[in-house]
Amino acid sequence: MTTMNLTPKQMRIFNFVRQFRLLNGYSPTLQEIADELQVSKVTVFEHVEALVEKGALRRNPNKARSLSEVESAVRPDEASGMSIPLLGRIAAGMPIERCAEDEKLQLEAIFGRTTARRGDMFALQVEGESMRDEGILDGDYVIVERRSTARNGERVVALLPNGETTLKSFYREKSGLIRLQPANPEFEPILVEDCTIQGVVIGVLRRY
C-alpha cells in the first residue's frame, strides 16, 4: 500500500468505500457513508476531499456514485476481498491465544462474495464445544463487533476478573451478578460480579 498519512476516520471511509464496492458492485453515496459512520454529510465530504488529495480515492464530481479507491493505495493481499483482523482463538474459560498482528481473515477468499457487516470488527477461531447448541462449533470463526456493553441473550467475548477470556451468552441477573451461559449442558454457567465486554458476536463463519 502506498505510504500516506490517513487519520482513523479517513481510513474508515477508505475501507468502507472499498468494501462497499466489493459487496455491491458500485460506489456508496456520501449520504450512505455518513449513515455508516454516523456523522454529517458535510464531514464526510471534507474527509473524502482529503482522501482525494492524498491519492487514496478518486471521484468524478459530475457523476453520482463515482468514488473508487486508487489501486496503488490497496495492499495486494487485500485487493481481492474484504478482510478483518484474526486476533486469535477462544474457548470456554480459556485465554485468547494471540495471532500475529498482521494476520487477516479473508472473507471473500473463503466464502466468495459476502454480506458481512462492515465496521469495527475482528474474528476469533473457536476451540471447544461450549456453544455447540447455539450452532457455534469447534473450528468455526466468530465475527465480533467491538462493543463494551451487551443486552441479555447476546453472545459476547468477555474478559473475566482472572484475566481469562470466554465466549458465552450474556445475562445480567436480578441479584446483580452476571451470568455467562454456555450452550452445552456439559458446561456450567460462569457467575461473576463484573466482567469486561470486549465485543458482541454478529456472525459465524464455517468452512466445509
Positions marked active-site: 130, 168
Strands (E), 51-189: 57-58, 68-69, 83-91, 94-98, 104-106, 121-126, 141-145, 155-159, 165-172, 178-181
Which one, of 127, 140, 130, 126, lies nearest residue 169 by Cα?
130
Whole-angstrom distance, CA of residue 155 vs CA of residue 132: 13
| Distance separating the N- and C-terminal Cα atoms of the chain | 32
- How many Å apart are CA 41 and CA 31, to the nearest integer? 6
